[in-house]
């Protein structure tokens, strides 16, 4: 397992993070405690150290199980625990959710108790609440870092302008900066490329990917060559839930799945491994969350970095999944940019401009 430093920090995390939203079957799907423990142990044995959860995952049982497994394995100093706040578990109480100071301070205490630890390695805003000023969020998170209850801070599912504002405030006011931005990213969902892949290196942060298999669409469970646009499982069950993250059955996505199946066959690799390999090597990506309910799924996912995706095959996947630019991004396409620069080619600086980082315990130099 290779490790990258997370954003502009010294925190070293594994390229593949373990997602624990599946720890517990409170939501009608997921892994019971015995299976979840097996997944946790297998991930640690493979060299993984980055584990993602949230206060409301499986009604808090994800955090409870994770805390129990960490204690049983004696791995607290080794693992990097990420948990999140934002969502409300008390209907009718508006301050039991959201990103205001009152809820953040309430939520962190609950997570610490459920996890059975006295500090959280990476504390993350789960979703933008459209209400709380970025300054309030960042000052509160900085207070938690200064108190020792939190080591690093992050954001998930927030607009690029809000992340940029928060990071700029942190820099100007000497608060703890955002070390990573967690976002959905996969062959089936590439819209973050319009803003966030440029935001990350320019503002000293990184990208952490959730749903790299598009909620299972790219896992190999759905194969157009065998079953067309049919399938079962969580995606089919949640397709009409109102959550856009599960709205994946589209004509465009079936074309992506078909090409992914063909590329995987050419490589003699699983569809999941190819999809994970593709997203892990995208610009700005520090770590990719893999989740599973069964051991064989996790074992397969852990092999996603054991091969190199040939350029020709990568180009096929890039082409079939390329997102359609909309205003104002159409103005940033090569045609119109050529009009600005007089037809001259103006590109990025060569990679030698970037500072390589020696990651302790790894046998290679990497560029973050």
Q: Which residues are catalytic?
A: 57
Largest Cα–Cα distance of the chain, in whole Å? Answer: 64
The alpha carbon torsion through 169, 172, 173, 179 (nearest 10 deg) reads 60
User: Which is it for the CA torsion 39, 41, 44, 45, positive or negative?
Assistant: negative
Class of residue 247 by CB neighbours under 10 A (exposed 0-12, middle 13-18, buried 19+): middle
Instruction: Name which of 209, 186, 345, 177 is nearest 257 in CA terms.
Output: 186
Alpha-carbon distances of 83 from 180, 284, 364, rounded to whole Å: 13, 21, 30
3-state secondary structure (DSSP) of residue 53: coil
3-state secondary structure (DSSP) of residue 13: strand
In angstroms, the CA 238 to CA 31 distance is 18
């Amino acid at each position: 397992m290779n490790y990258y430093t997370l954003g502009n920090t010294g925190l070293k995390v594994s390229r593949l993070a373990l997602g624990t939203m599946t720890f517990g079957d409170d939501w009608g799907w997921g892994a019971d405690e015995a299976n979840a423990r097996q997944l946790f142990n297998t991930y640690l044995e493979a060299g993984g150290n980055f584990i993602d959860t949230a206060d409301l995952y499986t009604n808090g049982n994800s955090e409870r199980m994770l805390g129990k497994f960490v204690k049983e394995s004696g791995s607290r100093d080794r693992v990097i625990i990420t948990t999140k706040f934002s969502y409300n578990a008390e209907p009718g109480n508006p301050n039991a959710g959201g990103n205001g100071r009152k809820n953040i301070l309430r939520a962190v205490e609950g997570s610490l108790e459920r996890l059975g630890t006295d500090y959280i390695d990476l504390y993350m805003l789960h979703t933008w609440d459209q209400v709380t000023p970025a300054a309030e969020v960042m000052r509160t998170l900085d207070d938690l870092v200064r108190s020792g209850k939190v080591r690093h801070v992050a954001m998930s599912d927030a607009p690029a302008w809000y992340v940029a504002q928060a990071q700029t405030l942190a820099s100007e006011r000497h608060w703890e900066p955002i070390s990573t931005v967690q976002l959905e990213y996969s062959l089936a969902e590439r819209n973050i490329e319009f803003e966030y892949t440029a935001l990350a290196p320019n503002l000293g942060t990184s990208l952490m990917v959730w749903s790299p298999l598009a909620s299972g669409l790219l896992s190999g469970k759905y194969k157009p060559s065998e079953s067309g646009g049919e399938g079962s499982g969580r995606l089919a069950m949640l397709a009409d839930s109102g959550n856009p993250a599960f709205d994946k059955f589209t004509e465009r996505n079936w074309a992506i799945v078909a090409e992914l199946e063909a590329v995987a066959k050419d490589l003699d690799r699983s569809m999941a491994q190819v999809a994970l390999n593709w997203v892990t090597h995208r610009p700005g990506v520090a770590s990719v969350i893999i989740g599973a309910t069964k051991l064989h799924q996790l074992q397969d996912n852990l092999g996603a970095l054991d091969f190199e995706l040939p350029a020709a095959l990568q180009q096929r996947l890039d082409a079939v999944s390329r997102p359609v630019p909309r205003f104002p991004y159409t103005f940033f396409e090569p045609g119109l940019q050529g009009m600005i620069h007089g037809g001259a080619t103006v590109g990025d600086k060569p990679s030698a401009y970037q500072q390589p980082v020696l990651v302790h315990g790894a046998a290679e130099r990497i560029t973050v």
